Amino acid sequence: MGARVIDRFGKGIRTAPRDVLVTESADKQNMGKAFGLHKALDMFGAAFGILLIYLIMKNSQGDYDYKRLFALSMIPAALGLVMFIFVKEKKREITAEVRQEKTSRLSFRENFNKIDGQLKLYLLVVFIFTLGNSSKAFMILKASDAGFDEVNVILLFFLYNAVAGLLSIPLGKLSDKIGRKKLLVPGYITFALCYALFAFAETTDTMIAAFTLYGVYTAMITGVERAFVAEISPAELKGTMLGLHSTVAGVALLPASVIAGLLWNVFGAAIPFLFGAGLSLIAAGLLMAFMKGRKAGAAISSPNIA
C-alpha cells in the first residue's frame, strides 16, 4: 500500500505538467494526434514490458521472484528520467499578457465560478464515469475465475496494451477531424459493453474479447479526453484545468474500487461490472444531452478572470 501511495503521488505530480508539454508541442488542429502518439508510446512500452515479464515468469518454472521482477522494472524507469535531458520547453517572452496569465493562475479559486460551464459539466461527467471504473485487480479476479493462471493472465494485459497502442494514433487523428465529443460518447458506450462482457465472462474466449474491447475503449478515451479538456480550458488556466481533471478522476477512483469490492462481496462478481457499465452509460447520456459539439482545434473564449 505504501508503494502504491508513493506511485500515485508521483503520478499526481507529473501528469498535468506532462499534458501541458504535449499541448504546447502540438498545434490545435493536431491535438488529438499528439495525445494519441503519447498514449500509443505509453501502451506499447507497457506491452513490451509485460511481454518481457511473461517470458521471465514462463521460464522460471513456477519459482517467481517478484522482488527481482520489480527491481528489473526500475531500469527502464531510470532510462526514462535520463530522456528528460533531451526534452526542451518552449521559452516564453515575459510580456504583459504572460504576467496577466500568472495573476490569473493565482486567483483561480476566487474565479472558479467564471470557468466555462461546459468544462464544469465535463468534469462532472468524468467523476460519474470514474466512479464506476474500478481497479484492474477485479479484471484479474474475473480472469482467474475464467481459467487463467497468474502467468497467462499477463498475456491478457499484453493484449489490452497492444490493442490500445495500435489504435491510439488513428483514433486521436479521427478526433481531430470529427470532434472530441463524437468519439468520447461511443468511447463510454464501448466501456459499458466491455464491462458487460466482464460481468458475464465465464470462458477464456469471452475474457479475451473483453480485454480486447478494453483496449479499444482506452484508445478512444484516454488521449482524446485530455485533448478535449485542453481545448475547452481558458488558455491561462490550461495546466490548472488539466490538473483538476486528473484530481477529479483520482478522487473518484478510491471509492470506485471500494464500492466494487463491497458489491462483489454482497451481490457477486457480475454486479460491480454492471454498476460500472451503468455509470458509463449515464456519462455518455450526459455528454450527448448537454455537451455542445465543438470542431477540433476550436478553443473556448477565455473569460476575463483577472
Q: Return the closest-CA partner of residue 119 out of 246, 230, 6.
A: 230
- Please report how the helices 2-24 and 31-58 are oriented relative to each other, as an axis angle in degrees rounded to 10: 150
Q: What grid cell was written down for 56?
A: 521471465
306 vs 29, residue with greater confidence = 29
- For range 143-162, the mean pLDDT: 91
DSSP 91: P
- Of these ranges, 18-22, 82-86, 167-171, 247-251, the one predicted with the greatest mean pLDDT is 167-171
Q: Does 271 score more than 90 pLDDT?
A: yes
- Predicted confidence at residue 102, as pLDDT, reads 55
Overall size of the chain counted in residues: 306
**Domain coordinates of the chain in residue numbers?**
12-89+117-290
- Cell numbers standing for residue 131: 466512479
- Give, in words, the CATH class of 12-89+117-290: mainly alpha
User: Residue 241: CA atoms inside 13 Å, Cβ hemisphere, count?
Assistant: 29
| Separation of alpha carbons 150 and 59, rounded Å | 14
Look at residues 161, 150, 149 and name the one whose alpha carbon lies nearest to residue 44: 161
Q: Which three cell numbers stand for residue 297?
A: 482545434
The mean predicted confidence, pLDDT, of the chain is 86
